[in-house]
C-alpha cells in the first residue's frame, strides 16, 4: 500500500466531493491527495484518492462490489488529464471530451465501501486521444482488495495548449 496519509491527517488531502452536491446524490466521499484545481502546468499521470461510502447500511458483497466499481469507472479517468495540465471540475478551457471506453475490475478480497479505500491510479499509456489507467485499491488496513483497468478517450483543443504570441 502506498504511504499516503488518510483524510484529516494531511493538509494537502482536502475534501473533494460532497455526495449531496453531486447529481442524484452520488454515494461517495472522495479525498484527492494531488489537487486538480491547482493544475496550470503538466504533472505526472498519477493520483491517489481516498474513497468512502457515507451510506453505512449493510449490503450483500455483490452490492458492495458494485459501489466500488462505480467509483472506479467515474473517477479514475481524470488521471489522463494530468499530463496536459487540465482538470475536470471546473472543466479546463480546451477540454472537449473525457469519457470511459472500457472498464474492468478484479476483486481479490472482500471490500467494504463504508470503510476508507485508497485508490492508487496511474496512466500507463497516453497517446492518440486515448489513455490506459491502472488502479490498485487498498482497504484501510493495507490489503489489496481490487485492481482496475480503464481505457479513456480524451479530446483536447490543442490551440489552447500552444504558447501565445508575444505581439
Asked if residues 52 and 28 have their Cβ atoms less than 8 Å apart, the reply is: yes
Helix (H) or strand (E) holding 74: helix 61-75
Give tens-digit pLDDT for 8-24: 666 555 555 555 555 55
* Domain chopping of the chain, boundaries: 15-158
Residues 6+ apart with CB under 8 A from 46: 34, 79, 82, 120, 121, 122, 123
17-21, 27-31, 93-97, 143-147: least confident range: 17-21
Please state, in angstroms and as integers, the Cα–Cα distance from residue 64 to each residue in 2, 71, 109, 149, 156, following that order.
23, 11, 12, 19, 35
Give tens-digit pLDDT for 75-100: 777 787 777 776 665 556 676 777 78
At the topology level, CATH places domain 15-158 in Thiol Ester Dehydrase; Chain A (3.10.129)
Helix, strand, coil % in the chain, rounded to nearest 5: 20, 35, 45
pTM: 0.76
Amino acid at each position: 500500500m502506498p504511504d499516503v496519509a488518510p483524510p484529516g491527517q494531511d493538509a494537502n488531502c482536502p475534501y473533494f466531493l460532497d455526495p449531496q452536491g453531486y447529481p442524484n446524490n452520488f454515494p461517495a466521499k472522495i479525498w484527492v491527495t494531488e489537487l486538480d484545481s491547482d493544475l496550470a502546468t503538466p504533472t505526472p499521470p498519477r493520483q491517489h484518492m481516498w474513497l468512502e461510502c457515507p451510506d453505512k447500511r449493510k449490503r450483500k458483497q455483490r452490492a458492495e462490489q458494485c459501489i466500488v466499481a462505480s467509483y472506479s469507472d467515474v473517477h479514475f479517468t481524470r488521471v489522463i488529464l494530468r499530463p496536459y495540465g487540465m482538470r475536470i471540475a471546473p472543466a479546463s478551457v480546451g477540454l472537449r471530451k473525457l469519457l470511459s471506453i472500457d472498464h474492468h475490475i478484479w476483486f481479490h478480497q472482500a471490500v467494504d465501501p463504508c470503510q476508507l479505500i485508497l485508490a492508487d491510479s496511474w496512466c500507463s499509456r497516453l497517446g492518440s486521444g486515448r489513455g490506459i489507467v491502472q488502479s490498485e485499491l487498498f482497504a484501510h488496513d493495507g490489503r489489496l482488495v481490487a485492481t482496475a483497468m480503464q481505457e479513456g478517450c480524451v479530446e483536447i483543443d490543442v490551440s489552447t495548449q500552444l504558447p501565445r504570441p508575444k505581439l
